[in-house]
A and B are shown apart, each in its own frame.
Chain A
């Protein structure tokens, strides 16, 4: 009898365990349908309650990819520590480590299971539309309005991008722009008889030919794997050198038809770059391979953002004195890539009011002059409404300073990258077919047809 009773109890425990797995101990969520006036009330109440509520430290946990070996971790994690020190006893941010490639999928998964973290970034533009439709965010407008000093740092273009039709602000607008440039090995260029970076595409091709013939090295560090980042940056700048391309990029409208002369020409350029000016390792290469081609001086040029500059003096990645050989520039034709459009941190409507207040403090901290300038000095970019002190400017990394000079002197226009206009499935299809374009098994026309078919498959 005892045995049977024990067996029954075991079964019961198992069933309870299974049922127990689905229970939730999440904090009471903020309502997803808060009206803006309710949010304003909360903002006003914040000041009244501030002192009373400071008894317990509010711990805010969120996943982020700027951890581990990610290039952004070098500044991001110490900054979190500085915030935690400043608000010790009041707020503490805890970052859960996740690799960048898995971040978007993780956020989508958490959203589907109704377990979004208090703060997150949108994986893509479609996701942003979905959360707008379902109002699963905290409107930031009342908080920005309540903190004019913080609000004055934000870039108008970015505020507009993040403002919904009903006037709510869905994600933290940017207060800085980081323009993507390119880096070249001055020594290899010099060996090829080129002493200044080419300013036109004709000169760029001539320089590539000279590098190949004089040094025997491949001119460009390109990649066809992942999202073909370095290749697509170069492609974006090429697109922007044509009026039609500039219009397409600036409009930031998703393209669903690639069967046009312009796109054929663009992918003919891509094929030419891959077949004639890149290394064989570009085929299927991810960013690390392309970067390594540049670091190891196998190639003379790489396109990337200013966040890469720190790696030029990283002894784990480059040889002695490598940084001195690197020059920074914008693209031929005076094109700078990037703008302030885009979403950043979103506060989930699942966050408790205390968490929302803590995150608003974090945003204010991020855009405080000291922090913002430290960030820009470390990773590049400029904040139009927060001038960088002369002292900081003098201490800028020489490569970053050179990039800034190039931007100031030679930049004629800025455009977003190609990723702003190609739907996600097209991006996937593109990288899948780039090896065929490289090998010549697919013509640019066929490539465009393939992209069009993919773009229209899920286009409603």
Chain B
């Protein structure tokens, strides 16, 4: 390639590079560095080594609780959220009656602000005026009273229900890959005597593996960063039953402990990258994409 052309490449890359540096790399480096400082967010930070990490990991059981909750939500994401989204994609792929409508309706939760969504759920799960309990009472259980979001036995499940069946991103990713599969492959399989199930299991599923892996990554990372729904409903309670790492970060911020908050952020980044690496390895994404 001529040097003349290369210089144009650099010029076109420059804006992206500037944006990446300003809005991603520099903040990430700042977060990492200030995680080792005592900083109230206003005055100059003071270097304190690993004290923030020590406070976060050893002071009480909140980090452990947050990690366990993340693990539980991640399992739900992998075992229910992503399979459900993929299943919907497989159904829509057959283009049954009203499939476009269904796809549109499935999108609705994603176009509503998460905060509004959280408030809606507060009302759905309300004991007295909530949609859920009133429905249960309507169908016969007149004395049914469960305060879903504030009863420690149900709060975790209630928070899980706010996202677990809204898997349109998974559906769109999988559906997109499904629609890209050449028809000839299916025709050849039919000629060889394959059933619909065989085609789904032996052809379609392997070919949408990348989309499923990407969905898993997105879903777990969303669980790491999940904040609004929890904060606007249970604030991590009752007790610590819906507590997560994002709330630890917020806890640092409201207490003017920005160093601590950034140490928590660093852990979140590490967890996110960890998920990315593990899913890449498990699904052999690099090999599959030929990179």
A contact set with B: CB distance below 8 Å:
4, 7-8, 11, 14-15, 18, 108, 111-112, 126-127, 130, 133-134, 224, 280-281, 283-284, 424-425, 428, 431-433, 435-436, 439, 441-442, 453, 457-458
Q: Are B239 and A18 in contact (CB under 8 A)?
A: no
Q: Are A112 and B14 in contact (CB under 8 A)?
A: no
Tell me how far the C-beta of A259 lies from the nearest C-beta in chain B, rounded to whole angstroms.
15
Q: Are B255 and A18 in contact (CB under 8 A)?
A: no
Contact of A458 among B145, B147, B257 (CB under 8 A): B257
Given contacts A431-B235, A433-B239, contact A425 B127 (CB under 8 A): no
CA distance A310 to B8 in the complex (A): 68
Contact of A108 among B18, B41, B234, B260 (CB under 8 A): B41
> CB-defined interface of B40-74 with A at 8 Å, one 1/0 digit per residue?
11110000000000010001100000000000000
Given contacts A15-B15, A424-B255, contact A281 B150 (CB under 8 A): no
Tell me how far the C-beta of A232 lies from the nearest C-beta in chain B, rounded to whole angstroms.
16
Q: Are B238 and A433 in contact (CB under 8 A)?
A: yes
Q: Are A11 and B12 in contact (CB under 8 A)?
A: yes
Q: Are A435 and B150 in contact (CB under 8 A)?
A: yes
Which secondary structure characterizes the binding site on chain B? loop
Q: Are B60 and A453 in contact (CB under 8 A)?
A: yes
Q: Does B151 have its Cβ within 8 Å of any Cβ on chain A?
A: yes
Q: Are B22 and A281 in contact (CB under 8 A)?
A: no
Smallest CB gap from A136: residue in B: B42
Residues of chain B with a CB closer than 8 A to A283's CB: 127, 147, 150-151
Q: Are A441 and B152 in contact (CB under 8 A)?
A: yes
Tell me how far the C-beta of A297 lies from the nearest C-beta in chain B, rounded to whole angstroms.
15
Tell me how far the C-beta of A287 lies from the nearest C-beta in chain B, rounded to whole angstroms.
14
Q: Does B187 have its Cβ within 8 Å of any Cβ on chain A?
A: no
Given contacts A284-B147, A428-B235, contact A436 B43 (CB under 8 A): no
Q: Are A7 and B152 in contact (CB under 8 A)?
A: no
B contact set with A: CB distance below 8 Å:
8, 11-12, 14-15, 18-19, 22, 40-43, 55, 59-60, 126-128, 145, 147, 149-152, 234-240, 251, 254-257, 260
Tell me how far the C-beta of B37 lies from the nearest C-beta in chain A, rounded to whole angstroms.
14
CA distance A134 to B41 in the complex (A): 12
Residues of chain A with a CB closer than 8 A to B42's CB: 111-112, 130, 134
Residues of chain A with a CB closer than 8 A to B126's CB: 281
Q: Are B11 and A11 in contact (CB under 8 A)?
A: yes
Q: Are A435 and B41 in contact (CB under 8 A)?
A: no
Tell me how far the C-beta of A424 lies from the nearest C-beta in chain B, rounded to whole angstroms.
6
Residues of chain A with a CB closer than 8 A to B12's CB: 7, 11
Contact of A15 among B14, B237, B255 (CB under 8 A): B14
Contact of B255 among A112, A224, A436, A458 (CB under 8 A): A458
Q: Are B145 and A280 in contact (CB under 8 A)?
A: yes
Contact of A11 among B15, B150, B255, B257 (CB under 8 A): B15
Smallest CB gap from A279: residue in B: B128
Instruction: State the 8 A-B residue pairs at the shortest beta-carbon distance, nearest first.
Output: A432-B237, A435-B238, A284-B150, A435-B150, A283-B150, A458-B255, A14-B15, A283-B147
Q: Are B255 and A281 in contact (CB under 8 A)?
A: no
CA distance A134 to B147 in the complex (A): 46
Smallest CB gap from A433: residue in B: B239
Tell me how far the C-beta of B144 lies from the nearest C-beta in chain A, rounded to whole angstroms.
12
Q: Given contacts A281-B128, A436-B152, could you give 14 more A-B pairs where the C-beta distance is less than 8 Å?
A: A8-B11, A15-B18, A130-B256, A283-B127, A283-B151, A424-B254, A425-B254, A425-B255, A432-B235, A435-B151, A441-B152, A441-B238, A458-B255, A458-B257
Tell me how far the C-beta of B54 lies from the nearest C-beta in chain A, rounded to whole angstroms.
12
Q: Are A436 and B238 in contact (CB under 8 A)?
A: yes
CA distance A11 to B17 in the complex (A): 12
Residues of chain B with a CB closer than 8 A to A424's CB: 254-255
Tell me how far the C-beta of B236 lies from the nearest C-beta in chain A, rounded to whole angstroms.
6
Contact of A439 among B60, B128, B151 (CB under 8 A): B151
CA distance A133 to B150 in the complex (A): 40
